Amino acid sequence: MGAEGILVTGGAGYIGSHVVRQLGASGERVVTLDNLSRGFRDAVTYGPLVVGDTSDRELVRRVLREHSIGIVMHFAALTVVSESVADPLKYYSNNTAGTGTVLECCLAEGVDRFVFSSSAAVYGVPNGGIADEDTPTAPINPYGSSKLMSEWMLRDVSAASGLRHVALRYFNVGGSDPGGRIGQSTPQATLLTKVAAEHVVGKRPDVPIFGTDYPTPDGTGVRDYIHVEDVAAAHLAALAYLRAGRPSVTLNCGYGRGHSVREVLAAVGRAAGRPLVTREEARRPGDPPTLIARADRIRETLGWVPRYEGLDQLVRDALRWEHRLQAERPPI
């Protein structure tokens, strides 16, 4: 079968599909496992798609074996914070127990390298709004807890076995493939950049601004927005790192720069060619005022250099994709 295969769980989802595309484009042999509960078949642009669940031990083991998988990149997870608050067991089962099962299968089949999708949600509301990798973890919702528990499992499994891992804690991921082939298709989106793009194409009458009285320069929430292509590139850098035999590490994946909700909406307005209609709302429960990465370690450790820093390209790519979605799947 040649070169070692890379299994991407959740490869039909938003971030996973961008990673599959970059892996495929760089000549890697990639296999996707996705249950299509949130993902899309046509988002998988390289390699076979196996439709199934990470909780299915027999299936996961068979895929690892039959495709000679050497490395697993594990994205398959539910990601909506409010849903995790309403139905925590769904998150612990799908995200935490799911990760446990995939790890168990890796050990059983001799897969000894693992890249894990973690989240800035593990930090909760960090002091000063800036988190480095040593900032105490204190998630404030089941989604964040489900990711942190997965990190702990990974840490302990790596300590007890020959497995090595890279865990990437994503900050606010946005945008889409600049080539326009794939993007974020999630229905009932809650993420700011996606909501704003949906407004521009006419799917929403306005964009809510959740909180205008935060202790931030313009009163709205500040986040570290990172282009999904740069997030995907960090995974390829993690792959090279693990192949070089380097030790397990947990890294923030952000730019280290914050933008407010109003700055994001202004950028979307620039890209759209007209200002957006906004609606000022109360704060959304559980939102920290500011959440920005200290992002030096990922650059030093992986040699990762972002290519899409700045809001303008991120929102342009998000908008291009939203226009395409709107043209292909017009509202009924």
- The mark string for 192-211 relative to ligand UFG (x by CB under 6 A, - otherwise) is x--x-----------xxxxx
Tell me whether residue 192 is exposed, middle or buried, using C-beta atoms within 10 angstroms of its C-beta: 0 to 12, 13 to 18, 19 or more.
buried
CB of 134 to ligand UFG, least distance (A): 18
Q: Does 37 bind ligand UFG (CB under 6 A)?
A: no
| Whole-number Å distance between alpha carbons of 96 and 254 | 23
Query: Number of H helices and number of E strands within the chain?
Result: 11, 15
Using DSSP, state whether 53 is helix, strand or coil.
coil
Minimum Å gap between C-beta 27 and ligand UFG is 31
CB of residue 268 to ligand UFG, shortest distance in Å: 12
What are the residues whose beta carbons fall under 8 Å from the beta carbon of 7, sequence distance 6 or more?
A: 31, 32, 33, 63, 64, 67, 69, 71, 72, 73, 111
Q: In the complex, what is the shortest distance from the CB of residue 88 to ligand UFG, in angstroms, rounded to a whole number?
A: 14
DSSP 69-98: EEEEEE------HHHHHH-HHHHIIIIIIH
The stretch among 9-17, 38-46, 62-70, 114-122 that binds ligand UFG (CB under 6 A) is: 114-122
CA distance 193 to 8: 25
With CB under 6 A as the contact rule, the residue among 50, 81, 149, 315 that binds ligand UFG is 81
Comparing CA positions, the residue from 39, 76, 71 lying closest to residue 55 is: 76
Provide, rounded to whole angstroms, the least separation between the CB of residue 69 and ligand UFG. Answer: 27
Out of 143, 170, 214, 255, pick the active-site residue.
143
Annotated catalytic residue 241? no
- For ligand UFG, the binding residues in 266-295 under the rule CB under 6 A are 284, 287, 291
Binding to ligand UFG by residue 191, rule CB under 6 A? yes
| Residue 127 token pair | 């002091």
121 binds ligand UFG (CB under 6 A): yes
Residues annotated as part of the active site: 143
Residues that bind ligand UFG (CB under 6 A): 79, 81, 119-121, 143-144, 172, 190-192, 195, 207-211, 221, 223, 261, 284, 287, 291
